[in-house]
Chain A
Amino acid sequence: MLDDFFTRAVLAGLGLALVAGPLGSFVVWRRMAYFGDSTAHAAILGVAFALAFDISIYAGTLAVAVSMACLVSALVARGQAMDTMLGVLSHSALALGLVAISFVPQARSDLGGYLFGDILAVGRSDLVLIWTGAALVLGVLILRWQRLVTSSLNEELAMAAGIDPRVERLVLSLALAVVVALAIRVVGSLLISAMLANDTPVVMGVTFVFACLVVLFNLIADILYGWLDPRIAFR
């Protein structure tokens, strides 16, 4: 069953969507959409590192996404305004990533693949990683659900109930980093930030445009076959 590239694509998408839904709710409730965006942008830098040092794409993006999450948490704890800081970090990370990736010869042609993902190229090992990671994050979310909701609603109420809001914030940031790292191959850096913000119109729009493009170019290719190769004829 897994031999079919289409089955693998559906399974990979399903695994990601399962975890992006609940995690995305927190992103919306806590107004962390911009944070998700920055982490996803930073992941491009991770791809560049991974290709340059010849390590796994997942490891590279995970490392950069986690450092981004920790950096943001540390700066917020020091009293910096989150929006300003993300504005700087997000775009610096994306710019650095694009510059870095242009120095890696084998990636230059395939940049679009990391920005927009390539769900049809998902292999078996990718599937295993995606589903393991998604199950892990989902498990953490379910176990800590009450704590996470309480501290998202009001940090003081959470503290009074013996919950440390800083821990919950870090848990969410790390979960976000893991999901971004998982998603980079599948849906890409730009689409995962929309998925994580539960930004349904963007997700639907991008999906629709890509579906149309695939159908359109397949049709053009089929028509060109008849023209290029006389042995194939329309009946």
Chain B
Amino acid sequence: MSALIESSALTVHRPGTSEPVLAQVDFRIQPGEIVTVVGPNGSGKSSLIRALLGHMPLASGRVVRRRGLRIGYVPQWVQLDTAIPMTVRRFLSLPTRVTDAQAEAALARTGVAGLGARQLTQLSGGQFQRVLLARALLSDPHLLVLDEPTQGLDQPGIVAFYQLIEEVRRQTGAAVLMVSHDLLVVMRSSDRVVCLNGHVCCEGTPQHVSTAPEYRALFGAEAQGTLALYRHRHDHDHDLMPAGAHVHRPGCGHDHTAPRR
């Protein structure tokens, strides 16, 4: 299958200057794939998303979006103007009107059923992110683009949100392109991770990236945490432990049926 979005030698300048934010980025996302972009502040993560979506002029390079590609977009830190009174139901009808049944189904799918009559300004951070996701899902997208969707959520909120995203992917088969800071969770739920710092430092499976020296140089101590997650299967010896002594948690990436030596 062809890629949903593909860029080659993408270069983007900071608006109004000739200073590059991103240089020579080759990127592609396949149908059904969860790809996460990580990188320090100012590394051009959001610029990459905007350039891929065509919201930002390219300095050079090429972006090819598959013909008829439907994108559901959850932008970074949506700042709603409180001057506009608007209910969740009305918000879901922007810019394309949807029926009540569709709106309710989308809200139910993201776990905020029954919030339709609520004002947008009365939602909590977590509820609002879910409403944004519900709105993005209404167009039945081939690709979900989420720019730091868990900003402002606490740890349980983040984990729940990523579970929701994986669930949505399973149900709809949509590809997911995400920008995130939550390294631990990202590493657990992505198919592929792109580590960005003005250019692509390294990319590949989470396991590959977390062991890459470029990644560890960028993220330092925090990288050690994600590394431990993957070294985890080597950090204890199953032979010395009575069966059942090790408590599995959701997301634990190993099993005891075939102990490794």
Q: Which residues of A contact B (CB under 8 A)?
A: 28-31, 79, 146-147, 149-150, 152-154, 156-161, 163
Contacts and interface: CB of A to CB of B under 8 A. Distances in A.
18 contacts: A30-B81, A146-B94, A146-B96, A146-B97, A147-B95, A153-B80, A153-B86, A153-B91, A154-B75, A154-B79, A154-B81, A156-B76, A157-B78, A157-B94, A159-B55, A160-B73, A161-B94, A161-B95
Contacts of A163: 95
Contact of B16 (A28, A79, A154, A161): A79
A156 B75 contact: yes
Given A146-B95, A147-B95, A150-B94, A156 B81 contact: no
B94 A149 contact: yes
A156 B94 contact: no
**A147, A157, A161: most-surrounded residue (chain B CB, <10 A):** A157
Contact of A31 (B80, B83, B96): B83
Nearest to A79: B16
A160 B94 contact: no
Contacts of A149: 84, 94-95
Nearest to A160: B73
A154 B86 CA distance: 13
Contacts of B16: 79
B177 interface: no
A158 B95 contact: yes
B83 A150 contact: no
Interface string B7-18: 000000000100
**Interface bracket on B:** 20 to 34
Given A146-B94, A153-B84, 11 more contacts: A30-B81, A146-B97, A149-B94, A152-B81, A153-B81, A154-B80, A154-B81, A156-B76, A160-B55, A160-B73, A161-B94
Contacts of B55: 156, 159-160
A161 B55 CA distance: 11
Given A146-B96, A146-B97, A150-B95, A157 B81 contact: no
Nearest to B83: A29
B58 to A, nearest CB: 15
B71 interface: yes
B179 to A, nearest CB: 13
A187 B237 CA distance: 86
Nearest to B73: A160
Given A146-B97, A157-B94, A28 B80 contact: no
B200 interface: no
Contacts of B76: 156
- Give 4 closest A-B pairs by Cβ, nearest first: A160-B73, A156-B75, A150-B95, A29-B84
B168 interface: no
Nearest to B46: A156
Nearest to B84: A29
Interface string B51-91: 00101000000000000000101011011110110100001
B99 to A, nearest CB: 15
A154 B73 CA distance: 12
A28 B73 contact: no
A28 B83 contact: yes
B66 to A, nearest CB: 15
A181 to B, nearest CB: 26
